Amino acid sequence: MLLKHIDFEIRDLDKDDEACFKKDVDNWNFSIPVAYSNRTYRCNGTYLLGGYFWSYQPSQINQWFEREYFDLPLHTTIYFTINFWAIDTWDHILDNPSSQDGIELKFDSRPPIYLFGLQVTKYWDFIPTICGNKRLDGADIKDIFIFGSVPHSNSSLNFKIISKMNSGTSDESFGVRDISFLFSHSSNSAPICGRVPVQSYNLSNCTCEKGYYNSSFSIDSCSQCHPHCDSCFGGTEYDCYECKKGHYYDGNACQKCHATCSRCSGPMKNQCEDCYAEDTLFENACISANRCIIPFTSPPGCLSSCISPCDPLKKDLWSENCFPPCQNGHISDLTAHCYCKFIYLSLV
């Protein structure tokens, strides 16, 4: 499966459909042999990489998942967003920091970023157990968003998530999804912090909710992100950790896609990478049809798209105008609204 490049942005493990999510998981490597069925875990209806019982080892300390990303654009900084789920009895021991449960993030050969030291067991009475080992008294915490930036300029990236938990995954585990990387020309660093609903000892808690940033030194001064940003560290389109749906990253800022595109590589209508649910992708444009009309075919996969059976030399890209100019007998409209236009070359 080809990684979906959205120009200077990569999104990974963000699919809601099981088959499509597993296609993303297929690109990840594990430090130990893992049964295919255990690489993906469904928690409360949400698919995760890893999760409960992904490893049968008695201890998961220093076990990891990793993925290589290649052919990256020129950049100097990576802004990242990662969604973690903490499952079962994570431990925090004040007098023995080496026994704290946590995770490390590693970008290439840079020193790892240590996350957490969550004291989950203390809060089990008001945070429900939604998956994992139902016999334990731990709590399951979903949607722990981690935001940050790292200097980076290589044309490839090895990203590794390392477990620092000393028990097996049937006792304590974590899952990952919704990874976003923005490859930026900017050299501005952004703080590494997390939105964690319980006490965290080794991670700076973001002082504002996702979609907001701290606009002053006061802990209560939260301002809304720019409309182009899904999460941010400042108030402009240049200060995004992650672009909002319907926007793309141009190496400096999150910009609007054409109104018909849910994801794109640029602002034009023929630069779509994905469409909204009611539309279909054809020739990098989103057409207002929810199914492929004969003789189009819809290939299996995670994009709703239509493929034409015509020779490329005889096919005109979909547009509102005929190009080259239509001549009598040279254009055939296969739908009432001329979504897809075909040029039939004259033999005389």
User: Residue 50: which of 10, 97, 88, 2 has the closest Cα?
Assistant: 88
Measure the CA–CA gap between 17 and 277, rounded to whole angstroms. 13
- What are the beta bridge partners of residue 331? 343
Check: CB of residue 85 under 8 Å from CB of residue 48: yes
The answer to whether residue 292 is domain-embedded is no
Total domains, the chain? 1
Return the pLDDT at 304. Answer: 79
Return the pLDDT at 6. Answer: 45
Write out the chain's pLDDT in tens, 348 residues.
334 444 699 999 999 999 999 999 999 999 999 988 899 999 989 999 999 989 888 889 999 999 999 999 999 999 999 999 988 877 655 545 556 788 899 999 999 988 876 554 444 454 567 788 876 655 678 888 999 999 999 999 999 999 988 889 988 899 999 999 999 999 888 988 888 766 555 667 788 889 999 887 555 689 999 999 999 999 999 999 999 999 999 999 999 999 999 999 999 998 999 998 878 888 788 877 666 666 677 777 787 787 766 555 444 444 433 334 444 433 434 433 333 344 333 222
- What are the beta bridge partners of residue 311? none
Check: CB of residue 87 under 8 Å from CB of residue 165: no
Measure the CA–CA gap between 2 and 112, rounded to whole angstroms. 28
Burial string for 240-251 (b: 16+ CB within 10 Å, else e) reads bbbbbebbbbbb
Residue in the structure block whose two tokens are 């400096």: 252
The answer to whether residue 69 is domain-embedded is yes
Return the pLDDT at 117. Answer: 61
The answer to whether residue 152 is domain-embedded is yes
Domain coverage including residue 40: 5-186
Q: How many CA atoms lie within 13 A of 77 on its CB side?
A: 19
Return the pLDDT at 51. Answer: 93
Measure the CA–CA gap between 214 and 233, rounded to whole angstroms. 7
User: Residue 245: which of 180, 159, 318 has the closest Cα?
Assistant: 180
The answer to whether residue 286 is domain-embedded is no
Check: CB of residue 107 under 8 Å from CB of residue 148: no
Q: Which residues contact 86 (CB under 8 A, 6 or more apart)?
A: 116, 118, 120, 139, 140, 141, 144, 174
HEC per residue, 168-219: CCCCEEEEEEEEEEEEECCCCCCCCEEECCCCECCCCECCCCCCEEECCCCC
Return the pLDDT at 62. Answer: 93
Return the pLDDT at 200. Answer: 57
Return the pLDDT at 187. Answer: 87
Q: What is the CATH number of the domain that holds 176?
A: 2.60.120
Chain centroid to CA 313 = 36
The answer to whether residue 14 is domain-embedded is yes
Burial string for 86-112 (b: 16+ CB within 10 Å, else e) reads bbbbbbbeeeeeeebbbbbbbbeeeee
Return the pLDDT at 325. Answer: 40
The answer to whether residue 235 is domain-embedded is no
Residue type, position 65, single letter: F
